[in-house]
Amino acid sequence: MGTDSKDHPDFVRLYTDGACSGNPGPGGWAFILDHPATGERRKEAGAERHTTNNRMELMGVIEGLAVLKRPCQVEIVTDSQYVAKGMSEWMPNWKRQGWNRKEKGVLKPVMNVDLWQRLDGLLVGHRVSVTHVLGHRGHVENEECDRMAVQAYKDMVRNPG
């Protein structure tokens, strides 16, 4: 009987979310990083004063991947179609096209290219899959990440400086 990859010691599950009050406006990101083999869990959140929802969605993934210390098998769980499709479908083409996208047959710069390039660098060495979940539909970790991201930007707005 084979070992399920989800039980492998190098497997981690990264739940992420981003939130924004206004678009643009103050926003927050959050992640929960689970290591099923040990039962360890790490949670973090942060905020930015003037940002967009898509940037915060990307920051949750970036900050979560940034804490990994060695190559892992990573399942990223997100409610963001932008992140899910960006990673699994769009990014390979963007890279081939010099970080440009086609719009009506014309190449245009990729939005949030700074974050997509950071994410691309963080993916090196990992085996990554992306799972899209529906937001605000009772997925426990997704809901927790959402609460954490919202709380992060609310705390930042309440405590300027």
Domain boundaries, the chain: 5-88+124-158
**CB 116, CB 94: distance < 8 Å:** yes
pLDDT at 6: 64
pLDDT of residue 7 exceeding 70, the answer is no
Q: Interhelix angle for 53-66 vs 140-158, to 10°?
A: 110
Q: Alpha-carbon distance 21 to 27, whole Å?
A: 6
pLDDT of residue 161 exceeding 70, the answer is no
pLDDT of residue 2 exceeding 50, the answer is no
Q: Alpha-carbon distance 15 to 64, whole Å?
A: 8
pLDDT digits (tens, 9 = 90+) for 9-36: 899 999 999 999 988 999 999 999 999 9
Quick one: pLDDT band at residue 76, thresholds 50, 70, 90? very high
**Neighbour tally for 32: CB within 10 Å:** 23
| Residue type at 30 in one-letter notation | A
Tokens of 124: 């090196």
pLDDT at 3: 43
Tokens of 6: 């989800």
**CB 30, CB 44: distance < 8 Å:** yes
Q: What is the set of active-site residues?
A: 17-18, 57, 79, 136, 146
pLDDT digits (tens, 9 = 90+) for 31-54: 999 999 999 999 999 999 999 999
pLDDT of residue 65 exceeding 70, the answer is yes
pLDDT digits (tens, 9 = 90+) for 79-137: 999 999 999 999 999 999 999 999 999 999 999 999 999 999 999 999 999 999 998 78
Query: Structure pTM?
Result: 0.93
Quick one: pLDDT band at residue 1, thresholds 50, 70, 90? very low
5-88+124-158: CATH architecture: 2-Layer Sandwich (3.30)
CA quadruple 18, 148, 62, 135: dihedral sign: negative
